[in-house]
Amino acid sequence: MKKSLGNSAVVAALVVIVSACGNSAPTGKAQVTAPPPPQDAALARLYDQTCRACHASSRTGAPMAGDTAAWAPRMAQGMDVLVEHTINGYNGMPPLGACMDCSEDDYVALIRYMAGQ
Amino acid sequence: MNRRDLLISSVAAATGVGLAGCDDHGASKLPQAPAPTTGPDGKRLIPWQNWSGYQFGVPVQRLVPKDEAELSDIMRHAPGPIRPVGAGHSFTALVPTDGTLLSLRNFSGLLSHDQDSMTARLGAGTRLGDVGPMLDEVGQALANMPDIDSQTLAGAIGTATHGTGAGLGALHSYVKALRLVTPRGEIIDCSAEQNPEVFSAAKVSLGSLGVITQMTLQNVPTHRLKRRSWLAPIDELIDNFDQLVSENHSFEMYYIPFCSQAMAVAINPTDEPMQPRGPEQDNDAVMQMKQLRDWLSWWPGMRQRLLDMATRDFEPEEAVDVWYRIFPSSREVRFNEMEYHLPSEALMPAFKQVRERIESQHHEEFFPVEIRVVRGDDAMLSPFQGHAVSSSIAVHRYHKEDPLPYFASLEPIYQPYEGRPHWGKMHTLSSAQLAARYPRWKDFLAVREALDPDGRMLNPYLRQLFGIS
């Protein structure tokens, strides 16, 4: 009983209380069927060399490419917000989205592809 | 009020939620990348930033050469400093330039392989995460991998990136040959037999000798690995560390600040049936440790009690899979890092001081401290040069918090042991200090001077590091 009480306290402390400064941890994602590669060969190569490492792996916290349900609320924020998040990094995503030479147009095209648009 | 609510209220009241949690831990002192500006075409001019966001720069141009001929032309004519960039996973200022930033995206993939010699030639811009499936498909495997697989091959070998294992060398120690495009546009193939002095310098060269476009790796036959992780009392793991290292193909230990238990991870070859790793738990665990820090950094006794209770029932985890899905982990919580390499006999004396200093002076710390071992090698700037087996201690600071006070507090611990910093991780050693710890420092600088007399590859950080005005 004592052990159970102790563990409950830990679980309560670690999971339920939301701190004043708030910070959510990345969560795992369900399996999603990968979309066909982008038709544009250059974009397909760019995706393959950068975004795919995280956005095609259910082990990361990134929204999966082709998971339109996961992308819908993100797209609702507007493309400018998503591009800004990509440039400066957001949660687990590194600045520039791991693409060191992408232009703004590249980021827009890659986001649209992953969002299924 | 039910029992859980009572506990929540009690913990919240006891810890003063909203007070401890609002310390920004130096966030306001972090350097901020400049905001993108708008170019003449109306598009954003985007600053380069590293993975943690701590390093940044605004290159006058970013180039993506399609082949070695184009790269050679760029090397001769592009405005300097010319800095090649991989995945941006170094925490030191190796990449920032106001000149030319070079992406090696077009130098990637498996170029050839030889099953008799178990070697493979790969593009230097290939990311480690992509190397695994490529090699496995032809029956080969890297002998070892680091904990993170985002880096490019060139970035990884250039900074002496390593995994862990007393019989396992860092990635550069498996390079049999490489091709370098110099600042004068020359294309130099080198190996132990061909241009051996350049080869010995270029394996760990911080991208300062030119641009590496391809390399030949000495691999091993593809195989299956078993990963086992468990928690044990930290004093027990310290006492048994050498034995655990010698008994396992790959072994590392994570010290969890303010917890009586530490995590051990052992990896060994196996023929057991596949048992893939589940979703990565480490990222959530780190953020939970941060949460506990936010509440209880002022009350380390209670923090330790809660951590001990939270880890008491941890069941050992096992996974069996192909090598490239066992070695690396997914690190989604960004951080800055300082790692020092030490002679093996200095590891535990130094680590005990690190632990004592964290628990007495750094109640703000929550990231686990990583302790690893690496087989020595003979590359000129290898931190493992001259050691039969090197040991390393890596400390981390959450990317939204100032790393400098913490790292400055711990760094002096390593100096009596003549520790050598990881080339991609933060440190403050001077050129003179480094020269004293690397027997072939002058030899490396001589090769650098011969290949790049005008210093076209040198940004301000590298000039300072090498002591070049």
Q: What ipTM was estimated for this complex?
A: 0.78
Pairwise CB contact (< 8 Å): B103 & A100: yes
Q: What is the pLDDT of residues B145-181, one digit of tens each?
A: 998 899 999 999 999 999 999 999 999 999 999 999 9
- Delimiting residues of CATH 3.40.462.10 domain(s) in chain B: 224-421
Distance CA B6, CA B293 (A): 21
What does the pLDDT read at residue B338? 98
**Maximum separation of any 2 CA atoms in chain B, in Å:** 77
Q: List alpha helices for B278-371, DSSP H.
A: 282-296, 300-312, 347-361
Handedness of CA A62, A64, A65, A70 (dihedral sign): negative
- Delimiting residues of CATH 3.30.465.10 domain(s) in chain B: 110-222
Helices (H) then strands (E): counts for chain B:
13, 23
What does the pLDDT read at residue B15? 53
The 3 state secondary structure assigned to B60-106 is CEEECCCCHHHHHHHHHHCCCCEEEECCCCCCCCCCCCCCEEEECCC
Structural domains present in chain A: 41-115 (1.10.760.10)
Pairwise CB contact (< 8 Å): B17 & A104: no
Write out the two tokens for B379: 């590359």
Mutate to test the interface with A, among B45, B74, B309 (most CBs of A within 10 A): B309
Tell me whether residue B270 is exposed, middle or buried, using C-beta atoms within 10 angstroms of its C-beta: 0 to 12, 13 to 18, 19 or more.
middle
Write out the two tokens for A68: 């339109």
Pairwise CB contact (< 8 Å): B4 & A7: no
Residues of A in contact with B63 (CB under 8 A): 101
Q: What is the pLDDT of residues B23-43, one digit of tens each?
A: 889 999 999 888 878 877 777
Distance CA B381, CA B200 (A): 9
Distance CA B201, CA B180 (A): 11
Q: Which of A27, A95, A101 shows the shortest C-beta gap to B49?
A: A95
Pairwise CB contact (< 8 Å): B11 & A58: no
Of B330, B318, B218, the residue nearest B268 (C-alpha):
B318
Distance CA B120, CA A52 (A): 24
Pairwise CB contact (< 8 Å): B330 & A25: no
Distance from the A47 Cα atom to the nearest Cα atom in chain B, whole angstroms: 11
Using an 8 Å Cβ cutoff, are B99 and B78 in contact? Answer: yes
Buried b (16+ CB within 10 A) or exposed e, B71-92: bbebbeebebbbbbbbbbbbbb
Write out the two tokens for B274: 């596949």
Residues of A in contact with B332 (CB under 8 A): 26, 60-61, 91-92
Write out the two tokens for B347: 């590891």
Distance from the A75 Cα atom to the nearest Cα atom in chain B, whole angstroms: 20
Q: Which of A21, A49, A94 shows the shortest C-beta gap to B108?
A: A49
- Delimiting residues of CATH 3.30.43 domain(s) in chain B: 31-103
CATH number of B224-421: 3.40.462.10
Using an 8 Å Cβ cutoff, are B234 and B262 in contact? Answer: yes
**Closest chain A residue by Cα to residue B17:** A19
Phi, psi of B27 (to 5 degrees): -55, -35
Distance from the A9 Cα atom to the nearest Cα atom in chain B, whole angstroms: 6
Residues of B in contact with A104 (CB under 8 A): 43-44, 46
CATH topology of domain B110-222: 3.30.465
- Collapse the DSSP code of B224 into the 3-class scheme (helix H, G, I; strand E, B; otherwise coil) and give the result: strand
pLDDT score of A60 more than 90: no
Q: What is the pLDDT of residues A84-93, one digit of tens each?
A: 999 989 888 8
Residues of A in contact with B151 (CB under 8 A): none
Using an 8 Å Cβ cutoff, are B68 and B181 in contact? Answer: yes
Lowest mean pLDDT across A21-25, B210-214, B278-282: A21-25
Give the architecture (CATH level 2) of B31-103: 2-Layer Sandwich (3.30)
pTM > 0.95: yes or no: no
Distance from the B205 Cα atom to the nearest Cα atom in chain A, whole angstroms: 21
Distance from the A116 Cα atom to the nearest Cα atom in chain B, whole angstroms: 24
Residue located via tokens 């040959």: B177
Q: What is the pLDDT of residues B177-235, one digit of tens each?
A: 999 999 999 999 999 999 999 999 999 999 999 999 999 999 999 999 999 999 999 99
Length of chain B: 469
Pairwise CB contact (< 8 Å): B291 & A14: yes
Q: Which of B47, B294, B313 shows the shortest C-beta gap to A19?
A: B294
Of A44, A42, A27, A59, the residue nearest A114 (C-alpha):
A44
